[in-house]
Chains A and B, each alone.
Chain A
């Protein structure tokens, strides 16, 4: 063989070898890659900055702290449980770990804007499936269940599904199929692409490898959030969470808009029978119940504590008497609805003070401490010694 042919052959053979080497490295990364000294998913390691931690990373975070005999407390849910309004030093989940003690391992896998059935809930499902003793803490507004697919964190569902991490739950697949049928063509195409990505990733492990490299050695994509130093490895980007502003500076912005959101928590969910008497608006309650059944497999429901977060008293006290009674009615009714579906559910924040809130919905450090005490009690009740 001529030297030129030999060099060409060497080049061509090395291409699949290079790809195979990257696949092997990705497969390895999926078994260990995770953020160091992890407290929560801040903006620098979350989808806001195009960092989409793979399902394996979330699992690694939970398993790294767990040891046999201990109960894993996985925190899912949204920005309230993510601790917006609290610096990482004052984060409520740190207080929860202190309160629960050595018998429990608390891991905060919540994301800003996540639905109660997304992200942390799916990791809890995977670990329950593997036989670990797990409690899931998640949160939402009374009637918000949503779906595991279709949102910003929907990639985790397809990722978990393709890696065979999730339970067999035909009701969920049927609901998603029915939802996709009525969705717009662009949403259908988006879901198909997420499925393709997850199926390819299950074979080639590119998400684990390149997120690990992005976290450890350097990120290759410009994002608005990291625009001044987008190339920096994500482990060099600090948690940007801060404690709530002084009380005198809170609740000043957009009073009317925030009041409208406060009203919307119960408007449309109850019909009045008399001026201050209410009954549930049945179609919405039925849909909420069906979604709970579809999105949470029964084995997960039995291990879940769902928190319904009340709004700050600053706003609730500005509702009319009629609106307040409707608000109380809806929270109590939907709390019972979640319980009827097999999920331990509690309304939290109703007796917190303005001092405890950083804004209408997020908690200040003092509110975080109160939440940790409440949740610790709920966890102990669900997991008697």
Chain B
């Protein structure tokens, strides 16, 4: 009984962790989406 509850709690914690990770990844995607596609190449004039 206890081990079953422990397993369920572990699974719940894993879902919470995954959710937090997905949220963080969405934030990271915003940063990546707005990185310029074309690199800036410095040329001296």
Residues of A near any B CB (own CB < 8 A) = 3, 6-8, 10-23, 26, 47-48, 50, 52, 79, 84, 112-113, 152, 193, 197, 200-201, 204, 206-207, 209-211, 220-221, 223-224, 261, 359, 361-362
Contact = CB atoms under 8 A, between A and B. Distances in A.
Contacts of A17: 19-20, 23
Contact of A197 (B34, B41, B43): B34
Contacts of B26: 15, 18-19
A207 B24 contact: no
B10 to A, nearest CB: 11
6 contacts: A7-B11, A7-B12, A15-B19, A15-B20, A16-B23, A220-B32
Contacts of A84: 44
A224 B41 CA distance: 10
A46 B27 CA distance: 22
B21 to A, nearest CB: 6
Contact of A206 (B19, B31, B45): B31
Contact of A50 (B21, B22, B35, B43): B35
A47 B42 CA distance: 9
**What is the interface of chain B mostly: helix, strand, loop, or mixed?**
helix
Contact of B24 (A13, A22, A223): A22
A273 to B, nearest CB: 29
Given A10-B12, A112-B42, A261-B45, A18 B31 contact: no
**What is the interface of chain A mostly: helix, strand, loop, or mixed?**
helix
B24 to A, nearest CB: 5
Nearest to B23: A18
Given A10-B19, A50-B39, A84-B44, A26 B12 contact: no
Contacts of B28: 22, 206, 210, 220
B30 to A, nearest CB: 4
Contacts of A14: 15-20, 22-23
A17 B24 CA distance: 9
Contacts of A19: 23-24, 26-27
Listed from nearest, the 4 A-B pairs whose CB atoms lie closest are A18-B23, A14-B19, A18-B20, A22-B27
Nearest to A9: B15
Contacts of B32: 220-221
B39 A48 contact: yes
A79 B30 CA distance: 30
A14 B41 CA distance: 41
B30 A206 contact: yes
B39 A13 contact: no
A223 B27 CA distance: 21
A210 B20 contact: no
A18 B41 contact: no
Given A7-B15, A10-B16, A50-B39, A204 B23 contact: no
A123 to B, nearest CB: 19
A21 B43 CA distance: 40
Nearest to B25: A18
Given A3-B8, A48-B40, A84-B44, A8 B15 contact: yes
A14 B42 CA distance: 43
Contacts of A11: 15-16, 18-19
B22 to A, nearest CB: 5
